[in-house]
């Protein structure tokens, strides 16, 4: 089955899901708390509401037994579960539901899944997951994109929700190679044809519209700039040394306010510095690429990457109402609340990185790990692990694992890189097996995964995970 046929089959299945949605009276939506989950939930909520359905929505940090029972026992005609659920589908037997998820599915009875079709004819579940069609859910489409394809099948008028699908994809780092691909590309074409989004090739720093230039360089963490990140005086000296006119009328200019030639000089210096530091080409190539601009907005909401960062900040601190208002209601009314949350989010990340750098990480054969206990919010452990993996400060030949206390349990987040994937890494299966070995649950993507385990089982988990990684990387 070629790629175009896979995409056409997936879109056709989204149409079948849309028809099922039209035939119910009430919908209970559950969605994950990150930018992808929030945008997916917002698309689902708006789609069901426009159909005149009685609609509720709740955001879930994790799909533990308590959350599963809440979903099973709800009384709506249809459950719509976004950005989670595929790894636990057997727990929802008999529930009328849509699972719109892009994570690796649970290995279930083959008679219940038609290969490359995605339908579960023997159940009540409409399971829309790209992996069931041979499509990589890590890069080709996010859960927000899946929700949008259902919405588009409901009514072409829902094309106005397409930018939210791209925000979810960008928030899930599906543009890490410099551009969106796969089904995301089809959605991007929708946004462009509708005049909603413009594509530009530019640096992919956060804050190009709003941050003073020296602060943009100082606060860059994805990836961090050697010798500049975290050091404002160094950023100012760099701009002066490069002859950048970054002050005007007593105020500092933003990235988008300096000339194109000045931007090129800065990028050239950064790339040269990263090469000198031995930073991988994979990370360096993330500096320049496609950027996606929301035509109807200005400031921080204009750049989809910045929009996604705001939603992540809202989600990490439980402010889902603010996040949804940014997505589908009066964005500007909620903006200041979101910006305040983002500032707090960045302070927490900076404090977490400083703590880990001071304490160092423990080393295994194929992994390295830190344990934050209750010293950082459990919702940012994955973000911190991802930043460290790209920082050049850790061993890029090893997976990074982070632990933090979470409501009496331990939250686990792990990150790899493309180099490790090429050697055979599949974090989703490794994390799932390691978590199961200590009575926990886990899953995710090949490059990023997470788990929840009991406190006190961390060392056993690490031992098993290292064993799983050893088998993958030696056989890869």
High-pLDDT (> 70) share of the chain, %: 95
pLDDT of residue 474: 83
pTM for this prediction: 0.85
SS3 253: coil
Distances in whole angstroms, Cα of residue 214 to Cα of each of 222, 274, 346, 384: 16, 18, 17, 23
Instruction: Quickly list DSSP for 397-447.
Output: TSEEEEEEEETTEEEEEEE--HHHHHTT--HHHHHHHHHHHTT-EEEE-SS
pLDDT tier, 432 (very low <50, low <70, confident <90, very high otherwise):
very high
Q: Which residue has the higher pLDDT, 387 or 58?
A: 58
pLDDT at 118 over 60: no
pLDDT at 107 over 70: no
Q: Cβ distance 352 to 376 under 8 Å?
A: yes
Q: What is the dihedral of CA 476, 464, 92, 140, to 10 degrees?
A: -30
Mean pLDDT value across residues 248-274: 91
Mean pLDDT value across residues 420-441: 94
Q: Which residue has the higher pLDDT, 194 or 393?
A: 194
- Least Cα distance to 356 among 373, 371, 378 occurs for 371
Instruction: Supply φ then ψ for residue 451, to 5 degrees.
Output: -155, 165
Strand partners, 148: none
CATH classification of 3-192 is 3.90.1640.30, yes or no? Answer: yes
In whole angstroms, what is the distance from residue 98 CA to residue 360 CA?
43
pLDDT at 120 over 60: no
Mean pLDDT value across residues 263-277: 89
Residues whose CB is less than 8 angstroms from the CB of residue 17 and which lie 6 or more positions away in sequence, other chains included: 98, 100, 126, 128, 150, 153
In whole angstroms, what is the distance from residue 61 CA to residue 74 CA?
18
In the sheet that 409-415 helps form, which strands lie side by side, from edge to edge?
A: 362-363, 367-371, 399-406, 409-415, 448-454, 441-444
User: Would you list the domain boundaries of the chain?
Assistant: 3-192, 205-285, 360-475
SS3 366: coil
pLDDT of residue 232: 65
Q: Which region holds residue 418: left if phi is over 0, alpha if psi is between -120 and 50, else beta? A: alpha
SS3 448: strand
pLDDT tier, 397 (very low <50, low <70, confident <90, very high otherwise):
very high
Q: Which residue has the higher pLDDT, 464 or 204?
A: 464
Handedness of CA 385, 391, 395, 399 (dihedral sign): positive
pLDDT at 116 over 60: no
Cis peptide before 223 (omega within 30 of 0): yes
Please classify residue 138 by burial: count the beta carbons closer than 10 Å to its beta carbon, then call 0-12 exposed, 13-18 middle and 19+ buried.
Answer: buried
In whole angstroms, what is the distance from residue 110 CA to residue 285 CA?
40
pLDDT tier, 229 (very low <50, low <70, confident <90, very high otherwise):
confident
pLDDT of residue 193: 96
pLDDT tens by residue, 122-179 = 468 899 999 989 899 999 999 999 999 999 999 999 999 999 999 999 999 899 888 9
Mean pLDDT value across residues 317-335: 89
pLDDT at 110 over 50: no
Q: Which of 96-110, 431-445, 460-474 is predicted with the least confidence, judged by mean pLDDT?
A: 96-110
pLDDT tens by residue, 2-30 = 788 999 999 999 999 999 999 999 999 99
Cα(first)–Cα(last) distance of the chain, in Å? 25
Q: Give, in words, the CATH class of 360-475.
A: alpha beta
């Amino acid at each position: 089955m070629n790629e175009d046929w896979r995409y056409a089959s997936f879109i056709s299945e989204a149409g079948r899901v849309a028809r099922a949605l039209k035939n119910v009276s009430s919908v209970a939506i559950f969605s994950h708390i990150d930018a992808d989950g929030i945008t997916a939930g917002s698309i689902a909520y708006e789609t069901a509401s426009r159909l005149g359905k009685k609609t509720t929505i709740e955001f879930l940090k994790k799909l533990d037994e308590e959350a599963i029972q809440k979903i099973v026992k709800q009384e709506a005609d249809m459950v719509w579960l976004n950005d989670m659920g595929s790894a636990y589908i057997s727990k929802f037997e008999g529930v009328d539901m849509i699972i719109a998820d892009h994570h690796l599915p649970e290995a279930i009875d083959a008679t219940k899944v038609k290969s490359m079709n995605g339908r579960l004819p023997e159940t009540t579940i409409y399971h829309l997951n790209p992996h069931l069609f041979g499509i990589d859910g890590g890069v080709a489409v996010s859960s927000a994109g899946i929700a949008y394809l259902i919405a588009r099948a409901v009514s072409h008028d829902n094309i106005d929700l397409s930018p939210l699908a791209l925000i979810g994809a960008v928030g899930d780092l599906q543009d890490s190679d410099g551009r969106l691909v796969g089904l995301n590309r089809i959605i991007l074409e929708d946004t462009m044809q509708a005049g909603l989004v413009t594509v530009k090739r530019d640096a992919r720093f956060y804050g190009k519209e709003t941050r003073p230039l020296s602060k943009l360089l100082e606060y860059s963490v994805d990836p961090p700039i050697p010798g500049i990140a975290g050091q404002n005086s160094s950023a100012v000296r760099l701009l002066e040394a490069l002859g950048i006119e970054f002050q005007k009328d007593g105020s500092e200019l933003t990235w988008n306010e300096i000339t194109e030639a000045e931007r090129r000089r800065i990028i050239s210096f950064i790339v040269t510095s990263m090469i000198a530091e031995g930073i991988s080409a994979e990370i360096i190539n993330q500096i320049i690429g496609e950027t996606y601009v929301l035509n109807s907005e200005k400031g921080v909401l204009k750049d989809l990457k910045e929009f996604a960062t705001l939603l992540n900040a809202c989600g990490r601190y439980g402010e889902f109402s603010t996040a949804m208002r940014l997505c589908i209601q009066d964005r500007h009314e909620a903006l200041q609340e979101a910006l305040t949350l983002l500032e707090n989010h960045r302070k927490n990340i900076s404090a977490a990185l400083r703590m880990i750098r001071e304490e160092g990480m423990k080393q295994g054969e194929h992994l390295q790990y830190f344990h934050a206990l209750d010293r950082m919010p459990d919702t940012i452990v994955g973000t911190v692990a991802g930043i460290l993996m790209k920082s050049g400060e850790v061993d890029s030949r090893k997976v990074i694992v982070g632990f933090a206390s979470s409501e009496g349990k331990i939250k686990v987040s792990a990150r790899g890189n493309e180099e490790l994937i090429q050697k055979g890494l599949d974090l989703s299966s490794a994390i799932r097996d390691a978590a199961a070995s200590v009575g926990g649950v886990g899953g995710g993507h090949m490059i990023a995964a997470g788990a929840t385990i009991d406190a006190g089982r961390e060392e056993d988990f690490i031992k098993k995970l290292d064993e799983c990684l050893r088998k993958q990387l030696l056989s890869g």
